[in-house]
Amino acid sequence: MSTLIIALLSFFGFIAAYHTYGRWLARKIFSLNPEAQVPSQELRDDVDYVPTKKEIIFGHHFTSIAGTGPIVGPAIAVFWGWLPALLWVVLGSIFIGAVHDFGALIVSLRNRGQTVGDIAGRMITPRAKLLFLTILFIALIVILAIFGLVIAIIFALYPESVLSVWIEIPLAVGIGIWIYRRGGNILVPSIIALGIMYIAMGVGAYLLPINISAWFGIPLLGQTFVNAVVIWTLVLFIYCFIASVLPVWTLLQPRDFINSHELIVALLLLLVGLAIAGLTGKADLFASAPVIAPDIPPDAPPIWPFLFITIACGAISGFHCMVSSGTSSKQVASEKDAQYVGYGAMLLEGSLAVIVILACCAGIGMGLFERSGTGANYTFQPLISSATGQQVRHQEAWRMRYATTRTVTNPDGTTRTVGGWAGHSLAKKVGAFVEGGGNFLASVGIPLKMAIAIMAVLVASFAATTLDTATRLQRYVIQELAQTIQIKPLTNRYVATAVALLLGGAVALMSGPNGPGSGGLLLWPLFGAVNQLLAGLAFMVTVFYLLRRNQPIWFAAIPMVVMLIMPAWAMLWQMFNPDTGWLFTGKYLLLAFGIAVEALQVWMIVEGLITLRTARGNYPELPPLHPQQQGQPAS
């Protein structure tokens, strides 16, 4: 029962925040004007700038910012206990994350859809623009490599998800043509498409799991370049090139609208399952996982400040400022839709993160499951406790997932036991949500095999959305950098996209900790701090925008300070901690990246302090458009 009560209280808090704090920001601070000209109208080209109904752009925006971020982050952070993770998700989403996303969207809407990096050049200094774009460029390389790896792992571990994810693409293209070329309605076709996807999930789960490891004897990962993850990564990056250069109405918008329906259905099923499991006593949050973990292994980083960079997308994420100002601002049809898209989508993502926390604690506490067999004949068997012979339940199951230990040898030849954090692989944590959520769905009466397929497709669909959105964003960043430093070939859409994918793919396909194809894991330790640093810098741009317009800034300035200090603190700990720091463990690539990012951050803060004295009330107007820049619908 406690599990259900905590879920309901969290959701009620999000709804109340939207209608109070969100409305205050929309009316009193940003003064949304439904008559104001927006970039999708002013620069319309029917490729990137496309006026879009708020329901459709909400679907794109939400699925782009969600990805696997609100899944992986909370799935790792409950390592410290579920209460700190839950509080950061709820309070962070309302007062920091949603404000960040909303602010970035508004600032971009009022600056012709430019990214926050580009806008920094006018709001702060031209050097700040170059610094911000450089940090965006580094962050997006890591994001492309990591999300490519995550999807490849999902396809390899959960082959039942492959058919449904890929069948969605032709369905979305058909819907896009139906809407924008034939003037049709999107709702009914998207629901039909979702039904076809669920049929494909059943086919994948029971008849035709696309398991290239089983079919061709190719290993999941290993020291050979021919492994399942490498193959799926190559396929995904080829897809991303095509998807990110197509007009947004062709694939991006309809696919994301279908994905938003998929999420709603999955969340409803999860909530019903959670309610049934909670009311029947099968799911017990307090019995399943510690409120605050009492025994943190010695290899684990401290909860403060690492909680704030581990849970990113579920509370606040710098990647969101790129989506708000990179793609969404180019499609919003009216300023009055900005609260619904910018503030509302972040609160829904917070709701997803709450479900993830409950699934990884109360859901896992219902019993862990493992595969037996391969191909279409595998089954999920409940793990059996060696001590009692009974199905694993509650904290014993949680400990098996989160408190694994291993013995390591010290430089002097002695040994020590470490655990928990050392076993935090991406596959295990994504699996914690997939299998914990599958337990909730099984409570509704859905067969466990089908429940696992539903959850795996949900994760893969979101991650794929984020991957090709990130590709499109990296293209914008490369084009803006090329314009700034005058490298004309890189301003071409196709060239910039190819460069984005070549760089991200090169990192993804490098030989990392698990062999070729796991190169993204080499830079994975950078992701949390760099991503949250972007949020702090995006807040800085919003603060200067408000300051120059003589608007109150306290509601953005306080989160800005928090999000500048926390990631910097975490990065310094990662670099210089005497026991595990990159300097002392020979991880010089990470050390070099970390020092470079910290230097860029300090430099940009200095640029802001220099500009601060003359910023208030001094708003720089946009230059007039050249005739060729004035958008017209594409023929």
Strand partners, 52: 332
* Tens-digit pLDDT profile for residues 201-244: 999 888 878 876 666 667 666 667 777 888 888 988 999 999 88
Contacts of 289 (CB under 8 A, 6+ apart): 78, 81, 82, 360, 361, 362, 364, 365, 395, 398, 402
Q: Which amino acid is at 582?
A: W
Mean pLDDT across the chain? 84
* Tens-digit pLDDT profile for residues 234-285: 988 999 999 888 888 888 888 888 888 888 888 888 888 888 877 777 777 7
Is residue 307, in this structure, part of any structural domain at all?
Answer: yes
Mean pLDDT calculated for residue range 52-74: 84
Is residue 255, in this structure, part of any structural domain at all?
Answer: no
Greater confidence (389 vs 574) lies with 574
* Closest by Cα among 434, 419, 202 to 298: 419
* Tens-digit pLDDT profile for residues 333-346: 999 999 999 999 99
Indicate the range of 4-18, 201-215, 359-373 predicted with least confidence: 359-373
- Looking at residue 391, its pLDDT comes to 52
Contacts of 419 (CB under 8 A, 6+ apart): 297, 299, 403, 404, 405, 406
Is residue 171, in this structure, part of any structural domain at all?
Answer: no
Angle between helices 69-77 and 54-66 (to 10 degrees): 40
Is residue 509, in this structure, part of any structural domain at all?
Answer: yes
Is residue 149, in this structure, part of any structural domain at all?
Answer: yes
Position 380 confidence tier, pLDDT thresholds 50, 70, 90: low
Element (H, E) at 631: none
CA-CA distance, 79 to 293, in Å (whole number)?
7
Q: Token pair 């003064």 is at which residue?
A: 31
C-beta separation of 409 from 415 below 8 A: yes
Mean pLDDT calculated for residue range 60-83: 83
Position 633 confidence tier, pLDDT thresholds 50, 70, 90: very low
Question: How many CB atoms within 10 Å of residue 441?
Answer: 26
Helix (H, G, I), strand (E, B) or coil at 399: helix
Alpha helices, DSSP H, located in 513-587? 520-548, 554-576
- What distance lies between CA 491 and its chain's CA centroid? 27
Position 294 confidence tier, pLDDT thresholds 50, 70, 90: confident
Pairing label, strands 511-512, 515-516: antiparallel
Vertex 199, ends 193 and 201: CA angle to 5°?
105
Mean pLDDT calculated for residue range 613-631: 77
| DSSP tally for the chain: helices H, then strands E | 26, 6
CA-CA distance, 124 to 426, in Å (whole number)?
38
Position 516 confidence tier, pLDDT thresholds 50, 70, 90: confident
Dihedral angle over CA of 460, 462, 464, 465, nearest 10: 170
Q: Give the side-chain half-sphere CA count within 13 A for 32.
A: 23
Is residue 543, in this structure, part of any structural domain at all?
Answer: yes
- Looking at residue 149, its pLDDT comes to 80
Mean pLDDT calculated for residue range 286-290: 78
- Looking at residue 143, its pLDDT comes to 84
- Looking at residue 372, its pLDDT comes to 55
Mean pLDDT calculated for residue range 436-459: 85
Cα separations (Å) of 623 from 112, 122, 157, 334, 585?
Answer: 11, 11, 52, 22, 51
Mean pLDDT calculated for residue range 585-613: 92
* Closest by Cα among 111, 103, 118 to 478: 118
pLDDT at 376 over 60: no
Q: Token pair 């806008």 is at which residue?
A: 119
Task: Tell me if the bond preceding 305 is cis, omega within 30° of 0.
Answer: yes
Position 632 confidence tier, pLDDT thresholds 50, 70, 90: very low
Is residue 192, in this structure, part of any structural domain at all?
Answer: no
Q: Is 203 left (phi over 0), alpha (psi -120 to 50) or beta?
A: alpha
Is residue 114, in this structure, part of any structural domain at all?
Answer: yes
- Looking at residue 368, its pLDDT comes to 57
Q: Which two three-digit tokens encode residue 43?
A: 């620069």
Contacts of 474 (CB under 8 A, 6+ apart): 137, 140, 141, 144, 496, 497, 500, 504
Element (H, E) at 159: none
Position 365 confidence tier, pLDDT thresholds 50, 70, 90: low
pLDDT at 535 over 80: yes
- Looking at residue 482, its pLDDT comes to 92
- Looking at residue 405, its pLDDT comes to 55
pLDDT at 559 over 90: yes
Position 84 confidence tier, pLDDT thresholds 50, 70, 90: very high
Containing structural domain, residue 548: 2-159+270-369+394-629
Burial 593-608 (b: 16+ CB within 10 A, else e): bbeebbebbeebbebb
Greater confidence (556 vs 138) lies with 556
The fraction of the chain above a pLDDT of 90, given in percent, is: 40
pLDDT at 556 over 70: yes
Mean pLDDT calculated for residue range 415-444: 69
Question: What is the pTM for the complete model shown?
Answer: 0.87
Mean pLDDT calculated for residue range 353-382: 65
CA-CA distance, 475 to 486, in Å (whole number)?
16
Mean pLDDT calculated for residue range 2-24: 93
Position 329 confidence tier, pLDDT thresholds 50, 70, 90: very high
C-beta separation of 344 from 422 below 8 A: no
- Looking at residue 634, its pLDDT comes to 39
DSSP for 477-505, written as a single string: HHHHHHHHHT-GGGGSHHHHHHHHHHHHH
C-beta separation of 133 from 481 below 8 A: yes
Local structure of residue 182 (DSSP, 8 states): T
Greater confidence (76 vs 424) lies with 76
pLDDT at 124 over 70: yes
Q: Which two three-digit tokens encode residue 14?
A: 């999000």
- Looking at residue 384, its pLDDT comes to 47
Indicate the range of 7-11, 63-67, 502-506 predicted with least confidence: 63-67
C-beta separation of 261 from 189 below 8 A: no
Domain count, the chain: 1
Mean pLDDT calculated for residue range 577-605: 91
Pairing label, strands 405-409, 415-419: antiparallel
Q: Which two three-digit tokens encode residue 63?
A: 């699925």
Q: What is the CATH number of the domain that holds 463?
A: 1.20.1740
Rg (CA), the chain: 23
Greater confidence (217 vs 466) lies with 466
- Looking at residue 501, its pLDDT comes to 92
C-beta separation of 160 from 205 below 8 A: yes
C-beta separation of 54 from 341 below 8 A: yes
Greater confidence (600 vs 150) lies with 600
- Looking at residue 49, its pLDDT comes to 93
Helix (H, G, I), strand (E, B) or coil at 372: strand
* Tens-digit pLDDT profile for residues 85-114: 999 999 999 999 999 999 999 999 999 999
* Closest by Cα among 394, 329, 436, 311 to 103: 329
Question: How many CB atoms within 10 Å of residue 618?
Answer: 11
SS3 content of the chain, % helix, strand, coil (to 5): 70, 5, 25
Element (H, E) at 180: helix 162-180
pLDDT at 497 over 60: yes
C-beta separation of 416 from 407 below 8 A: yes
Question: How many CB atoms within 10 Å of residue 333?
Answer: 17
